[in-house]
Amino acid sequence: MARPRRGEGQHLPGDRLPGLPAARLIAAPSHRPPPPHMSDPTPDRADLGAAEREIVRARLAKADALRALGVHPYGNGAAPRHLAAELVARYRDAPVEAIAADPGDWSIAGRVLALRSFGKAAFLQLEDRSGTLQVWIRRDRVGEAAFEIFRLVDVGDIVAAEGPATRTRAGELTLEALRFTVLTKAVRPLPEKWHGLADVEQRYRQRYLDLIATPGVKEVFRRRARLVSTLRRFLDDRGFLEVETPTLHKPEEAGGAAARPFQTHHNALDLDLKLRIATELHLKRLVVGGLDRVYEIGRIFRNEGIDRRHNPEFTSVEFYQAYATDRDLMALTEELLRTLAVEVTGGPVVTYQGQAIDLTPPYPRVSMLAEGARALGLSPEDALAGRGLAEAVARAAARENDAEGAWKLEQAARRSPGEILAVAFEIFGEPALPRDRPAFVVDFPVETSPLSRPRDADPRLVDRFELFVAGMEVANAFSELNDPADQRARFEAQVRARAAGDEEAMPYDEDFVRALEQGMPPTAGEGIGIDRLTMLLTDSPSIRDVILFPLLRTRA
RNA sequence: GGGCGCGUAGCUCAACUGGCAGAGCAAUGGACUCUUAAUCCAUAGGUUGAAGGUUCGAUUCCUUCCGCGCUCACCA
């Protein structure tokens, strides 16, 4: 059994490791000679301005003063017995007299977020992983020695306090310290307490400061964790097996999506490798192998631009279900989104950037074929057959006000009917999707989907859907192509496209075709962007707000 | 990569048309045993992102560079 680490898991009052005495949170001041003063590890401090250098110097001096008092400014081995939230849960709205009848002996530790001092008494706002609690320290209650230690405390330090609960005159639940010590001395100051960190760049580069100083940031990442664990439970409950496949792909394996990969290299094998752009081809190999329901939650890398909706590395879940079709996955997706919204936000209606979005099923279906053709003034049949398509695109481009849209249409005019329809839908159809609920886009042309099974009723289309929420593509799913001959032909078309300059065309993965030749059961698969789903469920405007350490340019 | 915007004390922001770089918080010293952005007195803190140019004089105007944000393209 793994040894629990302090500060992790459910630390209950009285929890101990077997056979070990409980570490005392607050040791009596030591009478041993103070440990030697540590020199400043970065004496030049070139990254600091003069004012901050002065602050650091003063705090280092306080660390030394703590040593002189027998307190190790970076001590360890002490664990608090309680959490701030446990006091709150115990007393709730109890009046002073009720608390006084059973004040308890509480033991908490955490970071000092605010300090209001009165000379011989003070209030500290302490934050631990459960929340915040006020600690009241009074010289005549805590004692002279502990009060001397307190005098060396700065905002930002990690401290420990023990004592009874009470309620102040202002009505705030408070721990009145009978014992007090410093556990960790912070030598750098925190951001300004009222405005916090407004510099977005610094928030991303120094996420630890952001987590301390910006309200709501911790909650975003708690919600993200809850989303992932709920997703995992949802799939586990339906018989899916969680697997892990390689992130390092040989050049011929790096397919499964239209994207450019990152290049890397293995030295010992002298082998050029690429970071995966999708998990699709390996997961389908596993379906061939008899793992009929598999999923992988993992990092995907795409060598593309960065904006509000894109980070070069992001987290996807892909899952594959044998003996299912895209219709089955639509139903599953609707149920999944409703479940995630309820578990993460408390209800099926979420608000994203001021827009209420109801995730209650069912979601409307919007036909890429019908809407794309309609935008071009053609019947779906004429559009698919390419009849009058070139003229229609030229007309649409001419009346398109947006120069970029017109340019895209003109570029698309040289491509296949299916690709033209997809572009027409992107320009004219996507902006018209409903805003107050998700929508499935269906009826994709086969040319846009090199891994999808052709529709039996019309092989120019595939049984595929994309789920759009709040203008973002959140999911992409289809009935999988399991005809090896067809897959071989699709790969060959991709190779031709690449030769013609399409850098995002997939390589020919011969082993994947070989796997299909062993027979893959009829299967449907889906990929969902975890980051975008998290944006939606945390009302975050940028993908960088839901990735702890988003990629930024190196500081000059 | 293109367009727009931003960069001033540790943090949040001022500084009119080019004319002595300021405030609050944080910090340091002092007063204060019920505070909630505590309060009061005092002190200290600056290569105005970098380099160059125009000017008697540049935080301010110009050029280039660096970084970030928004946006467009690429993309999920």
Q: pLDDT by residue (tens digit) across A397-418?
A: 777 666 566 667 777 777 888 9
SS3 A401: coil
| Least confident residue range of A333-342, A390-399, A400-409, A473-482 | A400-409
pLDDT value at residue A401: 60
SS3 A523: strand
Record: fold of A50-190: OB fold (Dihydrolipoamide Acetyltransferase, E2P) (2.40.50)
Residues 394-453 of A near strand B (Cβ < 7 Å)?
A: 404-405, 408
pLDDT value at residue A30: 57
Give the mean pLDDT of chain A: 87
Residues 442-481 of A near strand B (Cβ < 7 Å)?
A: 466, 472-473, 476
Residue A210 token pair: 């952001």
- Candidates 3.40.50.720, 3.30.420.40, 3.30.930.10, 3.30.1950.10; correct CATH number of A224-247+276-364+435-545? 3.30.930.10
User: Nucleotide B7: nearest residue by CA–C1'?
Assistant: A199
| Least confident residue range of A107-111, A147-151, A449-453, A503-507 | A503-507
pLDDT value at residue A15: 38
Distance CA A291 to C1' B1 in A:
44
Instruction: Say yes or no to pLDDT of A556 above 60.
Output: no
The C-alpha atoms of residue A267 and residue A306 are separated, in whole angstroms, by 29
The more confident residue out of A58 and A325 is A325
Residue pointed to by tokens 């000092």:
A112
A496 sits within 7 Å of strand B by its CB? no
Q: pLDDT by residue (tens digit) across A89-99?
A: 999 999 999 99
Residue pointed to by tokens 């302090």:
A6
- Inter-residue contact A439 to A402 (CB < 8 Å): no
Distance CA A549 to C1' B76 in A:
19
Instruction: Say yes or no to pLDDT of A258 above 70.
Output: yes
The C-alpha atoms of residue A367 and residue A211 are separated, in whole angstroms, by 43
Residue A390 token pair: 């070139």
- Inter-residue contact A304 to A310 (CB < 8 Å): yes
Mean pLDDT across A282-304 = 95
A168 sits within 7 Å of strand B by its CB? yes
CA–C1' nearest nucleotide, residue A312: B75
Mean pLDDT across A319-338 = 97
Distance CA A412 to C1' B73 in A:
15
A392 sits within 7 Å of strand B by its CB? no
CB atoms within 10 A of CB A436: 10
ipTM of the prediction: 0.84
Q: pLDDT by residue (tens digit) across A188-244?
A: 888 877 777 777 877 888 888 888 888 888 999 999 999 999 999 999 999 999 999
Q: pLDDT by residue (tens digit) across A43-78?
A: 455 566 667 777 888 888 899 999 999 999 998 888
The residue extents of the domains of chain A are: 50-190, 224-247+276-364+435-545, 366-433
**Percent over 90 (pLDDT), chain A:** 61
Query: Could you tell me where the beta strands, DSSP code E, fall in A353-431?
Result: 355-358, 365-367
Phi, psi of A237 (to 5 degrees): -65, -20
